[in-house]
Amino acid sequence: MKKKTDPLLLFPSPAIWCTRWLLFKLMLMSGTVKLQADCPTWNRLTALEYHYATQCLPTPLAWWAHQLPPLLHRAAVAVTLWVEIPCTLMLILPFKLARRIGVAFQVLLQVLITLTGNYGFFNVITMVLCIPSWWEPADENRPRTGTRPGSASLEELGPILWVGALISKL
């Protein structure tokens, strides 16, 4: 006889939705504040041409990043704004695949920021906030009959978070 799944477990709890909303708001505001400040470096996509050399606690990789050509700096600013503003909408969509793609972009951005600058534990906390957007409550009740391509349980996210935490301390 097939085990019946509680219908309430198929939908995220209010706590999960609140955490997803917190991540959404954090990342969206991180992007929009850059544009609302009306700073010419963000508006002209030149902010990273100065950022690596002027940030408070650069990592050794920041020097190398600063040496990149201006075109790559401008592309990186454009990608950052894209990840922080329109891509952030993916974090609250009701489709698991869309959310997971959004989480992948957010985590990649946080790892790259961590590699070039030390912002304490901000980047690690942001990556931890990504867990509820990756994880589905129904995943815990689904029988694990083998591995499915592209699926990950909450336990499988642990190593990813440890790597993020270690990178942030370099």
Give the separation between CA 85 and CA 90, rounded to whole angstroms.
Answer: 10
Give the separation between CA 99 and CA 93, rounded to whole angstroms.
Answer: 6
Tell me the mean pLDDT in the region 63-91. Answer: 96
Q: Residue 143 above 70 pLDDT?
A: no
The pLDDT > 90 percentage for the chain reads: 52
Q: Residue 153 above 60 pLDDT?
A: no
Per-residue pLDDT reduced to its tens digit, 30-59: 999 999 998 999 999 999 999 998 998 899
Q: Write down the pLDDT at residue 169.
A: 61
Asked whether 5 and 138 are in contact (CB, 8 A), the reply is: yes
